[in-house]
A and B are shown apart, each in its own frame.
Chain A
Amino acid sequence: MLTIEQLTKRYSTGDLALDSVDLQVTKGQVIALIGPSGAGKSTLIRCVNRLVEPTHGRIWLNNEQITGLRSRSLRRMRCRIGMIFQEYALVERLTVMENVLSGRLGYIGFWRSFFRRFPETDIERAFDLLERVGIEDMVDKRADALSGGQRQRVGIARALIQNPEILLIDEPTASLDPKTSRQIMQLIVDLCRESGLAAIINIHDVQLAMMFVERVIGLRQGRVVYDGSPAQLNAARLTEIYGEADWTGTAREEQDEQRDLPTSAEVIVPLIELPETGVGRQRVVGS
């Protein structure tokens, strides 16, 4: 579905961010892209929608070549690729609804978007998506009034309203607390499954990645050094990706391999931040 061939990116500073990367993503596959800072994870997904211009190599989405597209056809291609950002990248002074609807900009003309005259179907879809990600009460709030988790949900809705064929997700949880991170990851994975969406998720947190995805790609200095299931990601392989460290507790132990992924119900029920639970308070008192 997404095919990357010999993708190379050398920045004008001379840094080689990607070194001949080959990668194939099949329909509905959710991939975690892991690797140390500076390994080229962000560059890789930004090359896919050409926010970063590749130096060399080719990329196809469903047999249509992305590399080499020019202005109008590139914009049409970008409509088919949704993107979710680490710092949410919402327009702070616009409302939640405007932020979500901005995902439709590629489909309507300038003056319609300027006067906020979006088609009725887009608005209905926006309401549906906001309900799906659990922030339907926030429609009229300005984006800067939201918490981190809520903002990321807006970011997810904005990407999904594009009706994308693939999602590029850049560190979706790096600015969130552990609980919200799990909720957001679960939400992303569920949404991908619901609509058979493929996704590439850049992620720092290896454990979190292993909980949710079916395939992990390890990147080191712009090269793919691991491509396989999270189950086989042992200490030796993590060392190959990140370098020497104590991987106990991160790498999968043999007996852990059978453990199921957490079910949706476990993680997704508290969609909106719950008030502090008794358990949490007890723990604080106890410590």
Chain B
Amino acid sequence: MPVTVTGGQRCWQRRDRAAQLRIWLVWLVGTALFMAAWSFISAQTIWMFVWDSPAQAYDLASRMVNPRWDYFERILWPLWDTINIATLGTLLGVIIAIPIAFLAAHNTTPSRALIRPLALLIIVSSRSINSLIWALLLVLIMGPGILAGIIAIALRSIGFIGKLLYEAIEEVSNEPVEAIEATGASRMQVLSYGIWPQVLPTVAGISVYRWDINIREATVLGLVGAGGIGIQLQASINNLAWNQVTVIFLAILATVFVSEWISARVRHALI
């Protein structure tokens, strides 16, 4: 009990003795676990390589400092592909995620026993697989190219957008929904008049946020053959053309910078 009375004097403490003891115990176990894990990792590490790493990093950096600027025009087209993969993939993801979110939110799902778990399963499985792995699978199934990249991005985005959106749907204010129901509106009309206007800003915000993430993810999809600038990146690394790698990095940096700026502006406009 946080309040104790000793000799008529009331004394307040944040926690009682037992709670305090439990907290100390948690800290003790946590610290011990950390030390054990650290010693295990240390034993597995080849420290010679680690001590060598600053020299290696310096060596690599020195090969990258003189960028091959004329390479830039060769990556413009792949860069455009990358942006398109991200944008079309996001669009496709949003279109699929919206109905799934409505099926998953417990206040809009047609059946809590059957359809809701199914929608949640789709969301979880989409979220649990990274878009690079989706791309790897899709390249195997449908061959290399931009289309595989677009679908990989879309498949990963469905879970992300679906999850955030169904949480937003579950948090809408119930009063307007009740009012629309009271007018004799059908279920679909209640969705489109009572709930959709309430979640619209969230839909736009999440989509732009995901697009921003997808631009970054699309830059690596080429590593597994799913189109975009990643193909050039891999080729340059394989050829040890580090001055080209620098140009690619700078191009990616600039693109991400611009996409970040755009998404910040859009989100700002929505609030």
Stretch from B106-114, B171-179, B225-233 at the A interface:
B171-179
Stretch from A24-32, A89-97, A208-216, A222-230 at the B interface:
A89-97
State whether A105 touches B185 (Cβ < 8 A). Answer: yes
State whether A79 touches B181 (Cβ < 8 A). Answer: no
Number of residue pairs spanning A and B whose beta carbons lie under 8 angstroms apart: 80
Instruction: Give every chain B residue within 8 A of A104 (Cβ-Cβ).
Output: 183
Interface residues on B, range: 20 to 34
Instruction: Give every chain A residue within 8 A of B184 (Cβ-Cβ).
Output: 75-80, 105-107, 162
- Interface assignment of B141: CB less than 8 Å from any CB of chain A: no
- Interface assignment of A49: CB less than 8 Å from any CB of chain B: yes
B137-195 with Cβ < 8 A to chain A: 175-176, 178-186, 188-189, 192-194
State whether A105 touches B197 (Cβ < 8 A). Answer: no
State whether B183 touches A105 (Cβ < 8 A). Answer: yes
State whether B197 touches A102 (Cβ < 8 A). Answer: no
State whether A87 touches B175 (Cβ < 8 A). Answer: yes
State whether A103 touches B175 (Cβ < 8 A). Answer: no
- Interface assignment of B200: CB less than 8 Å from any CB of chain A: yes
CB A25 to nearest CB in B, in angstroms, measures 18
State whether B182 touches A49 (Cβ < 8 A). Answer: yes
Q: Which residue of chain B lies nearest to A161 when distances are taken between CB atoms in the complex?
A: B183
CA distance A89 to B174 in the complex (A): 9
CB B240 to nearest CB in A, in angstroms, measures 56
- Interface assignment of B84: CB less than 8 Å from any CB of chain A: no
Number of A residues contacting the other chain (C-beta, 8 Å)? 32
Which among B182, B186, B198, B201 is the interface contact of A91 at CB below 8 angstroms? B198
State whether A90 touches B182 (Cβ < 8 A). Answer: no
State whether B198 touches A75 (Cβ < 8 A). Answer: no
CA distance A162 to B188 in the complex (A): 19
State whether B180 touches A78 (Cβ < 8 A). Answer: no
Q: Which residue of chain A lies nearest to B182 when distances are taken between CB atoms in the complex?
A: A83
State whether B185 touches A92 (Cβ < 8 A). Answer: no
CB A40 to nearest CB in B, in angstroms, measures 17
State whether A110 touches B188 (Cβ < 8 A). Answer: yes
Instruction: Give every chain B residue within 8 A of A168 (Cβ-Cβ).
Output: 182
Q: Which residue of chain B lies nearest to A114 when distances are taken between CB atoms in the complex?
A: B192
- Interface assignment of A238: CB less than 8 Å from any CB of chain B: no
Instruction: Give every chain B residue within 8 A of A51 (Cβ-Cβ).
Output: 178, 181-182
A92-146 with Cβ < 8 A to chain B: 92-94, 98, 102-107, 110, 113-114
Q: Which residue of chain B lies nearest to A79 when distances are taken between CB atoms in the complex?
A: B184
Instruction: Give every chain B residue within 8 A of A110 (Cβ-Cβ).
Output: 186, 188-189, 192
- Interface assignment of A242: CB less than 8 Å from any CB of chain B: no
CA distance A76 to B185 in the complex (A): 9
Instruction: Give every chain A residue within 8 A of B192 (Cβ-Cβ).
Output: 110, 113-114
> Residues on B close to A: CB < 8 A?
175-176, 178-186, 188-189, 192-194, 197-198, 200-201
27 contacts between A and B (CB under 8 A): A75-B184, A76-B184, A77-B184, A83-B179, A83-B182, A85-B179, A89-B175, A90-B176, A90-B179, A91-B179, A91-B180, A91-B193, A94-B193, A94-B197, A98-B193, A102-B180, A102-B183, A102-B185, A105-B183, A105-B193, A110-B186, A110-B189, A113-B189, A113-B192, A155-B179, A158-B179, A158-B183
> Residues on A close to B: CB < 8 A?
49, 51, 75-81, 83, 85, 87, 89-94, 98, 102-107, 110, 113-114, 155, 158, 162, 168
Question: Sorted from nearest, which 3 A-B pairs have the closest CB atoms?
Answer: A106-B184, A105-B185, A78-B184
